[in-house]
Amino acid sequence: MTTTSKTRPPLNGVDTPTLFATLDAVKANPELAKFQFRAANRWVSGTHNRSTIRAFFGAGQEDTSRTEDFSYDADHPAVLVGTGHGPTPVEFLLHAIAACLTAGVANVAAARGVALREVSSTVEGDIDLLGILGLSDQVRNGYQGIRVSFQISGDAPPEVLRGLIDQSRARSAVYDVLTNGVPVSVEVSTD
């Protein structure tokens, strides 16, 4: 017995029927797709600072499903004259790309009826600090390249499993931002 994508049951912890219903709802009312995410950050001391994340706007309203702040410290390590109270800011970019691709794989697999057993990944980012240290004009400030390596297993042939990663990448918000860039404005208010 085969199912069409619209009638697939929940799989991989994904509520597939609700996922398809959500797609239909947005198709009928594209305004629902407009989201705004937010973070707030406060300097602690030296390179140590802390962000909180909670509220966002989406699906036509302020979201209230997250009832507590998520809180994240960032810092530079000792070798960069920080105190190591958290990862460096650039390491959070590596988390973001792995997390985005992995969430997408789970959704795509559920939509395609592929049961996943394991999805794990490692991410490496190479950066030459001559840029941010102001010691070379020839070296960019950011990563020179990021490599994501996935290990995936599930009830499908290798080419189908690879196709899940391909489709997730093709629809990944973080992959798009990191590879194509995005306009970032910075405003300053002083007391």
Binding to a copy of itself in span 44-83, by CB under 8 A: 44-49, 51, 53, 56, 58-59, 63, 65-66, 70, 72, 74-83
Q: Quick one: 1 or 61, whose CB is closer to a copy of itself?
A: 61
- Min CB(113)–a copy of itself separation in Å: 15
3-state secondary structure of 20: helix
Asked if 39 and 46 count as a contact pair (C-beta separation under 8 A), the reply is no
Residue from 105, 96, 90, 88 nearest 173 by CA:
96
Q: Quick one: 3 or 21, whose CB is closer to a copy of itself?
A: 21
Asked if 13 and 106 count as a contact pair (C-beta separation under 8 A), the reply is yes
User: Across the strands, what pairs with 48?
Assistant: 45
Residue from 126, 101, 78, 114 nearest 176 by CA:
101
Size of the site for a copy of itself (CB under 8 A): 133
5 binds a copy of itself, rule: CB under 8 A: no
145 binds a copy of itself, rule: CB under 8 A: yes
114 binds a copy of itself, rule: CB under 8 A: no
